[in-house]
Structures are given as structure tokens and as C-alpha cells.
Structure 1
Amino acid sequence: MKLVIALIVLVLGSLLFHVLSPWWFTPLASNWDTVDTTIDITLYITGVVFVAVNLFMAYAVYRYRHRPAQKAHYEPENKRLETWLTAITAVGVAAMLAPGLVVWADFTQVPEGADEIEVLGEQWQWSYRFPGEDGKLGEVATRYVAPDNPFGMSPGDPAGADDILVRSNELHLPVDRPVKMLLRSKDVLHDFAVPQFRVKMDMLPGSVTYAWFTPTRTGSFDVLCMELCGIAHYAMRGRVIVDTEEDFKAWLGGQTTWAEQRARPAADPAAGERQYATCVACHGPEGRGNLQMNAPAIAGMEAWYLERQLRYYRQGVRGAHEGDTFGAQMAAMAGTIASDSALRNLAAYVASLPAADSEPTLDGDPRRGAGHFNTCGACHGARGQGNHALQAPRLAGQQDWYLKRQLKYFREGIRGAHQADNYGHQMTMMARTLQNEQSIDDLLSYVNTL
């Protein structure tokens, strides 16, 4: 009887959980309501089978329970029963598969006139490319990928000159216009998914897959990677902002084209040296930092990383949180940089300064810290040397007191919480894997050995 009761409770509990559960589909925001219908059909068919099978098991256990005076009847075959079970199973499987095949047929047929947008996935971020005025996307290839050409744009293809490049996890789309997403991966398997749109598709290195949908309401929707793509897979997130036509055109007009990016003059370290006179008071003439001024070492840091942080300070992405008093000072100084070219010149000069090892200030256990660094090394490199492909700066040689403060800021949401800080979001999640202050000291004591 205990087993019979357990089976009945399992069925009733499952039905109650289905009816009362707050976890269900996110509200639909695209044309793919047929996906919901297909899932509903599958759920109800399997639900009926689940209830029927478990209740039959409960009945059979009770009806044919052991009794001393009753002898079991041996019947190895029953063709009539087997025929009925095979037929019912075939009908149930067909009822589940047929709607999916119909939806898939629609999913592969992109409507004429749909906008084409390329989605580029890489560990652990999203980027997007729109065709320019010619309506065509230019050629891309892996062999062209470089720090100044992350999309791999072909320099010899004139069709790509007006392509609009969005190096951000935030994608804007107009409402009520069908869009075909051309999906491309730069490194490993990814999967582009927007739950509210009921759309997901694998992204394969060396291939271009696609998916299409029509956004049906304005708003902000999550972009997720639904393929295990590495240690920070869960941090590979983005947003789709569905705008009105006017708002979308205004946003798209503010993005830069491939031709505009190529036309930027090379950074001039000599001009940057003159601008560095403002930075000397805190960071020192050789950029080695000053603990008394709470100014970290910046000499030898990657120019691309310095550029990004200076832009973040100017835009309020960094230094705007009330808990970041030192960041607020830096934001004020970054605001004095007159232009983007001046910012790049300054970053180029600082990057040209020779880096120097810093003096340890923490008393941690490097051996325990080496275990923590396994996670950090996936992005920052096994020797803390940094990795531009993953947008991870160099850690080796940086002062431990500064790194400790930044980890604290990430853990407490003082840094990395701003909506536009795509890489900070990832660091926030990674920093919170450190259990306590001692684990941070151990980690940074190991970094000091690199």
C-alpha cells in the first residue's frame, strides 16, 4: 500500500505543481505563437501518458499484490494488447512530431523583404553588423580578424565599407518588421536565444546559420547563449531593445560604419605624452601608481583596455556609483579629455611606458590562490598576461591593493552594475565565486607571483 499511495501522491503533486507553479513561459514578444502551441501539445500528451501510466501502475500494484491463496498467471505474449499499445504510441508520437515539423517548415522560410542582421558570438560577448545604404553585408573571414578588425571585415570588399558595426551586447530592432539573423561564431559553439521571441539557433565556427522572427512589441528582452561555451558561459548575456521605427533609426544613425572606423588616424603617443601631464599628479611620472593617492599603476597596460575604461569614466559607466569615491575623482579627470582622438593618444602613451613589478601588501597563501586563479586564467591567461580576444586585461604586475578593491567593488555591485558595462557584468558574477576576504587575499598573493 505504501507504494500505491506514493504513486498517487506523485501524480496529484505533479498536477498541482503544474496548475499552481509561478514558473511558466515568458510573455510572447514575436510572431512565433505556434512554438507555444507545439510545446503545449507535447506537454499535454506526455502529461496524459504520465498520469495514465502511474495510475495504472498503482492499480496493478494494488490489484495484483501478493496473497498466499492467489497464483500468478503466466502469459508471455498478447498480440491484441501489443497491437493496441503500438497503435496508441504511434498516434501519440505522431501528434507530438507533426506540429513541430509544420513550425520548422515555417521557421526555415524567411519572408521576402526581411531585414538581414549578422550576429557574431564569441567568448563571452555578442556583436552585431547591419548592412549600410547598399543593403548588402560585406565579406568577412576569420583570417582578417585582428584587434582593430574584430568582425573580420574584408579590406578589399567595397560592399562592406558602409556596414554598420555594433561592438556591444545591446541590439536594437524596429517593431513589427521581420528580421533574419545570420549567426556566426568566432571561436566555439554558441547558441543565440531570446526566450521572449521563442527563437534559438546554434552558431557553428566556420558556418553561418540563421533564424528569423518579427518583434511584435517594444521593450527590452534577454539574449542568452544556450550552448555550453566555456567557463563563463552563464555570463554571456545581452539585450534586444525593440524600438519604434523612429527610435530605431535614431539609434542606428549613431553607430559607426566600417569605413569610418578604418578612417580613424593612428594613435599618437607623442601627443598623448603632453596630455599625460594631468595624470602625473596621482599616477606618477612613470605611471607606477601611488598608494597614498589611491592611484593604481597604469604603465604598460593595454591601450585598448585603457581606452575602454576612460570612455566608461566619461560616459558615467564607471565612477558614478555613490560608493566609488575614487572612481568619481577619475571620472572628473577623464571628463577633461577633449576628444576621442585625444583619449586614444593618451592611452597609447601610457601603454608605451615600461611596466614594473609592484610590492606585495597582502598576506595570503599563494598555493591556495593558485586554485582560485584557475577560473581567472580562463580569460586573463595562465600567467595573468591578459587576452585581447576575451577583452581581459593583464593582471600580472598590478598592485594587489588595487585589485582587491576592484574585486570588492564587483562583489558589492559598486562596479559592473551599470547597464552599459558588458564586461563588468561578467566580472561581477566571477568575483562573487570567491567565498570570502581570505580567498581574495590568497588569489592576489598568487597573482603577485606572476
Structure 2
Amino acid sequence: MAAALVLVLVVVGSILFHVLSPWWWPPIASNWGYIDNTLIITFWITGAVFSAVVLFLAYCVWRFRHKDGQKAAYEPESKKLESWLTIATAVGVAAMLAPGLYVWSQFVTVPEDATDIEVVGQQWQWNYRLPGADGKLGKADNRLVTFENPLGINPEDPAGQDDLVIEAGELHLPVGKPVRMLLRSIDVLHDFYVPEFRAKMDLVPGMVTYFWFTPTRTGTFEVLCAELCGTGHGYMRGTVLVDTEEDYQAWLEEQTTFAELAGARKLAAGKP
């Protein structure tokens, strides 16, 4: 009886903790409410299964407890029970996968008016590149990374000369406008993660990954690396500020273009 009661209390306590706990998701700062809905559906399904299994276990502990003269029945298999369990499991898994597939479809379908912003990860800092006046990002290659060219921008591509380069600085985004984050690493695996944006993606050396979102409210948010990337992994943090259009344009005017950065570093290095 004591064991059965403990199992029942585990279920009741788990439900109360989930409903009454003071922590919850942080305020949403992007359009990805789909992510929260998917998590809620997953919680309901897994929570129901967890409760049903533990309560059934508690019932079995109580119902089939030891009694003098009572013998357990030996039933090594039950095709009927196995069939029902297989069907129930398949339905539960499908119910959890369906919302995720729908959200993923939305996640990778980028609006035509989205602005491209490149995120470049390296041990252990975040760098960014934004399009300049031409509205296009120039080509880049990790093999071109040098002191004068920290992001490996192709100097032969005219579209890259006016790109704005932010090294280990704050990234600003305009509120209410979709952006596509192009993710690239120049050394090892990283993962760009801003919890309030409900969006994250790995940065894989040798390829460009992406996701998109629309910031829905202004504010300051922390960037984390969600992929173990070395001894400084815990310090690989950054800041994203979502600004009003006026503040965003003012910030853009203060940034340095690739051409200006390369010229200044060549001068500092004493190169012609």
C-alpha cells in the first residue's frame, strides 16, 4: 500500500509542479508561437502517458500484492495487448510528429522580403555581417580568413565591399521585419540560440545553415552557444537588440564596411 501510494503521489506532484511552478517560457520576442504550441502538445501527450503508466503500476502493486496462498498467473505473451500497445504508441508518436513537421515547414520557408544577416561563429565569439547599401551580401570563403579579413569575405566580389562587419559586437535587428539568419562557422561546431526567438540552428564548418524569424517586440536578448565548442564554450555569449526602425537606422550608420575595415587594418599592419 505504501509503494502504491508513493507512485500516486509522484503523479499528483508532477502535475501540480507543471501547473503551479513559477517558471515558464520567457516572453516571446518573435513570431514563433508555433514552437510553444508544439511543446504544449508534447507535454500533454507525454504527461498523459506518464500518468497512465505510473497509475497503472500503482494499481498493479496494490491489486496483485502478496497474499498467503495466492499464486501469480504465468502469461509470457499477449497478442491482443501487444497489438493495442503498438497502435496506441503509433498514434501517440504521430500526434507529436505532425505539429513538428508543420512547424519545420514554416521554419524553412523564408518570406521573399526577409533581410539576409550572416552569423559567423568562432572560438569563442559571435561575428555578424549585414548587407550594405546594395542590399546584398558578398561571397565569402573560410579560406580567405586573415587579420585584415576576419570573416573571409571575397575581396573580388563588388557586392561585399559595402557589407557591414561586426566583430564580437552587438547585433541590432529592426522590429516587425523578417530576417533570415545565414549561419557559418570558421572553426568548429557552434549553435546560435536566442531563447526568446524560439529559433536555433547549428553552425557547421564547410556549409551554410539558416533559419528565419520576425522580431515582434523591442528589447535586449542574450545569444548563447548551444553546442559544446571547446574550453571557452560557456563564455561564448553575445547580445541581440531589437530596435525601432529609427534606432536601427541610426545604428547602421555607425557600422564599418568591409572595405573600410580592410583598409584600416592594412594601414595598421604597414601594408600598401
TM-score (normalised: structure 1): 0.58
| Displacement of 1:190 | 0.3
The equivalent residue for 1:159 is 159
Q: Give the Cα separation in 2 of the matches to 1:160 and 1:57.
A: 64
Question: What is the match of residue 223 of structure 1?
Answer: 223
Measure the CA separation in 2 of the matches of 1:79 and 1:238.
Answer: 56
CA deviation digits over 1:34-76, x for unaligned, max 9? Answer: 1100010001100011111001001001101111221211222
Give the structure with higher Rg (CA).
1
Confirm or deny that 1:95 pairs with 2:89: no
Structure-1 residue corresponding to 2:238: 238
Partner of 1:266: 267
What SS does structure 2 have at the residue aligned with 1:118?
A: strand
1:229 maps to amino acid:
C
Deviations 1:158-210 (A, max 9, x none): 11111111113310000000000000011110000110010000000111000
1:133 paired with 2:133, answer yes
Distance in structure 2 (CA, Å) of the matches to 1:135 and 1:243: 19
Q: What pairs with 1:78-93 in structure 2 (closer than 5 Å)?
A: 78-93=78-93
Report the TM-score when normalising by structure 2: 0.95
Q: 2:142: which partner in 1?
A: 142
Distance of 1:232 and 1:49 partners within structure 2: 40
Cα 1:205/1:261, change in 2 over 3 Å: same
Residue 195 (str. 1) matches residue 217 (str. 2): no
Query: Which residue number corresponds to residue 73 of structure 1?
Result: 73
CA distance in 2, matches of 1:246, 1:168: 23
Q: Take 2:142 and 2:255, find their aligned partners in 1: how far apart are those partners?
A: 23
For residues 63-116 of structure 1, the C-alpha deviation after alignment (integer angstroms, 9 at most, x for no partner) is 011112212112223222222211111111110000000000111110111000
The CA RMSD measured in Å over matched residues stands at 1.4
In the TM superposition, what are the counterparts of 1:45-64 in structure 2 within 5 Å?
A: 45-64=45-64
Counterpart CA distance in 2 for 1:187 and 1:263 is 25
Structure 2 Cα separation of the partners of residues 266 and 112 of structure 1? 40
Pairing of 1:35-434 with structure 2 (within 5 A): 35-264=35-264, 266-267=267-268
Cα 1:77/1:267, change in 2 over 3 Å: closer
Q: Does 1:2 align with 2:6?
A: no
Residue 165 of structure 1 aligns with an amino acid whose one-letter code is: V
2:57 maps to a residue whose letter is M
Larger helix share, 1 or 2: 1
1:268 deviation in Å?
8.4
CA spacing shift, 1:259–1:67, aligned 2, 3 Å = same
How many aligned residue pairs are there? 269
Aligned sequence identity (%)? 62
* Residue aligned with 2:48, SS: helix
Q: Distance in 1 between matches of 2:248 and 2:157?
A: 27
Deviation, 1:12, is 1.8
Query: d(CA) in 2 for partners of 1:2 and 1:234?
Result: 44
1:188·1:204 contact (CA, 8 Å) conserved in 2? yes
3-state secondary structure, aligned to 1:250: helix
Q: Partner amino acid for 1:17? A: F
In structure 2, what is the Cα distance between the partners aligned to 1:261 and 1:48?
Answer: 57
Deviations 1:346-380 (A, max 9, x none): xxxxxxxxxxxxxxxxxxxxxxxxxxxxxxxxxxx
Question: Partner letter of residue 107 of structure 1?
Answer: F
Cα distance, 1:141–1:71 mapped onto 2, change above 3 Å: same
Q: Take 2:257 and 2:53, find their aligned partners in 1: how far apart are those partners?
A: 60
Q: Residues 143-167 of structure 1, C-alpha deviation per residue, up to 9 Å, x if partnerless?
A: 2111221111222211111111111
Q: Which amino acid aligns with 2:268?
A: A
Q: Which position in structure 2 is the counterpart of 1:17? A: 17
Unpaired segments of 5 or more residues in structure 1? 270-450
Aligned partners of 2:262 and 2:235: how far apart in 1?
Answer: 31
Q: Residues of 1 paired with 2:192 and 2:261: CA distance? A: 27
Deviates more, 1:183-192 or 1:135-144: 135-144
